[in-house]
Structure 1
Amino acid sequence: MGSASFPVRLARQEDVPKLPVIERSAAQLFRQLPALAFLAEDGASLSEAQHTACIVQGLCWVGVESAGKPCGFLSAEQQGSDLHILEVSVEIRAQGAGLGRALIQHACAEAKARGMARVTLTTFRSAPWNRPFYERLGFCVVSSAKNETRLTENVRQEEISGLPPGSRCAMVKMV
């Protein structure tokens, strides 16, 4: 599975150093939004150790160019009975070619194959390439309802870590 231009495969340990580079490239898009432009200057949100943990669990995938070089990735972890997407990033030069969609579809298929009921994530509410993108892929914004304590806590922790209060939302897709 993958986009026509970028096949998707499981990430390997030798891919780990490339993943933060991809994430920093993808973050350059945030320069368009003054309130979030700082993200283009910050380091990657996931450490190499976090990516390695996702790889060990078989929950990190990369989209590769024809030469086999990763140009996008999705790292996730199991949280309860859900697959929680920690990060999806596509190099800025490869954006718009369907790789992000392919990575999400791949993760959803894997979650279903593993018997998980849902795929969850947190994202920016107002960035046009975030929440609306995930909505087009079947994700729904969840409120801070009692039964979504984990997701509400994820958003709260992101705000404590420095993201603007109220800028994030949790999303869910049934698989």
Structure 2
Amino acid sequence: MIIRPARESELPALRSLESAAGAPFHDIGMTAVAEDEPPALGVLAASLRAGRLLVAYEEGGPGDGLAGYLMWEPVDGATHIEQVSVAPAYAHRRIGQALIDRAAADGGGRPLTLTTFRDVPWNAPYYARLGFRPLADTELTPGLRAIRAHEAELGLDRWPRLCMRREAAG
């Protein structure tokens, strides 16, 4: 597997990958999530320019080999995972884990944070297996509170959500 910074020419493919990765939400009654528009090209391009957009390719895989991507941003001294998505054809190959571990390494030893759906098997339970722990409301930083407020404005709180954190290795 190859994990590297994204290239501008890949941005449209990342949007397609995101749409495909969201499709399983249909199966659990979360149609609004499944049909949510992927990040706009401008958002992806801004992350690319900031050096906060990674892609994963698996050699010899189906199609063009684009297996996943991860977008992050600094939030209150942590590396906040804004989005991590894996193409369905590459599910169950630890690609999400590899992207997260690379973001941790690239993040300069800072802890990782993310927000996610509590009860979706490939969300909070998955991240818990990767060493993330749920944060109590009293542990939320101002930046995480702002992210959660924005998610609520978007209607994501129709399903239980939470913030999670993984401490830096070492």
Q: Same fold (TM over 0.5)?
A: yes
Contact 1:152–1:170 (CA<8 Å) still a contact in 2?
A: no
Contact 1:15–1:70 (CA<8 Å) still a contact in 2?
A: no
TM-score (norm 1): 0.87
After superposition, the C-alpha distances for 1:106-138 in whole angstroms (9 at most, x for unaligned) are: 111111xx25x3111101011001001111111
Match of 2:70 among 63, 68, 74: 74
Q: Which moved more, 1:142-151 or 1:86-95?
A: 142-151
Amino acid at match of 1:37: T
The reply to whether residue 13 of structure 1 matches residue 35 of structure 2 is: no
- Could you tell me how far apart the structure 2 residues matched to 1:165 and 1:149 are? 22
Alignment-derived partner of residue 150 in structure 1: 143
Deviation at 1:145, TM superposition (A): 1.0
The reply to whether residue 33 of structure 1 matches residue 28 of structure 2 is: yes
Matches within 5 A, 1:1-175: 6-34=1-29, 36-44=30-38, 46-66=39-59, 69-111=65-107, 114-115=108-109, 117-145=110-138, 148-165=141-158, 167-175=160-168
- How many residues end up aligned between the 2 structures? 165
Q: What is the RMSD of the two structures over their aligned residues, measured on CA atoms?
A: 1.7
Deviation at 1:40, TM superposition (A): 1.8
TM-score (norm 2): 0.89
- Could you tell me how far apart the structure 2 residues matched to 1:56 and 1:168 are? 30
Contact 2:75–2:144 (CA<8 Å) still a contact in 1?
A: no
Alignment-derived partner of residue 3 in structure 1: none
After superposition, the C-alpha distances for 1:61-116 in whole angstroms (9 at most, x for unaligned) are: 111132764221000111231111110011111111111111011111111xx25x
The 4+ residue runs of structure 1 with deviation greater than 6 A are none
Amino acid at match of 2:34: A
Identity %: 31
- Could you tell me how far apart the structure 2 residues matched to 1:159 and 1:145 are? 18
